[in-house]
Amino acid sequence: MKHEIETEGDVTKLSEKWDQDSGHKPVITRIEDLPDLEEVTGATIDWIVERMFAEGALHMITSEPGAGKSTLIAAAAHAISHGLDFMGQLTKKRPVLLLDAENPLPAIRERFERLAIKTHRNFRVWGQWVGEDPPAAGGAIVLEWVTRCEPKPVIIVDSVIAFHPGTENDSNETRQYMGQYRRLTAMGATVVLLHHTGKSETSKEYRGSSDYKASIDIGYKLTNMGDNARLSLLELRPFKQRFSVAPLLRVFYNSGSFSIDHSEPRKSDTELLRDLLKANPGITKGEYEALAAERDLGRNRARGFLEKGVKGGTVRIEIALKNRHLHYLVEQPVE
Q: What is the pLDDT of residues 113-162, one digit of tens each?
A: 999 999 999 999 999 999 999 999 999 999 999 999 999 999 999 999 99
Q: Give which of 275, 280, 248 is closest to 261, Cα–Cα.
A: 248
Is the pLDDT assigned to residue 18 strictly greater than 60? no
Q: Are strands 218-224 and 233-241 parallel, antiparallel or unpaired?
A: antiparallel
Helices (H) and strands (E) in the chain, counts: 10, 13
Is the pLDDT assigned to residue 106 strictly greater than 50? yes
Is the pLDDT assigned to residue 9 strictly greater than 80? no
In 255-309, the DSSP E strands lie at 257-260
Rg (CA), the chain: 25
Instruction: Write down the domain spans for the chain.
Output: 8-39, 47-260, 269-329
* Residues 293-330: tens digit of each pLDDT: 877 788 899 999 999 999 999 999 999 998 999 999 99
* Residues 202-247: tens digit of each pLDDT: 778 999 999 999 999 999 999 988 765 678 889 999 999 998 888 8
Strand pairing partners for 253?
258
Where are the alpha helices (H) located in 134-170, listed in sequence order?
140-148, 160-163
Asked if CATH classification 1.10.3720.10 holds for the domain at 269-329, the reply, yes or no, is no
User: Which region among 93-97, 135-139, 200-204, 279-283 has the lowest average model confidence (pLDDT)?
Assistant: 200-204
Share of the chain above pLDDT 70, in %: 87
Which amino acid type is present at position 149? C
Which amino acid type is present at position 315? V
CATH homologous superfamily of 47-260: P-loop containing nucleotide triphosphate hydrolases (3.40.50.300)
Look at residue 5 in the predicted model and tell me its pLDDT: 40
Asked if 153 and 171 count as a contact pair (C-beta separation under 8 A), the reply is: no
Which amino acid type is present at position 54? A
pTM of the predicted model, to two decimals? 0.71
Look at residue 2 in the predicted model and tell me its pLDDT: 41
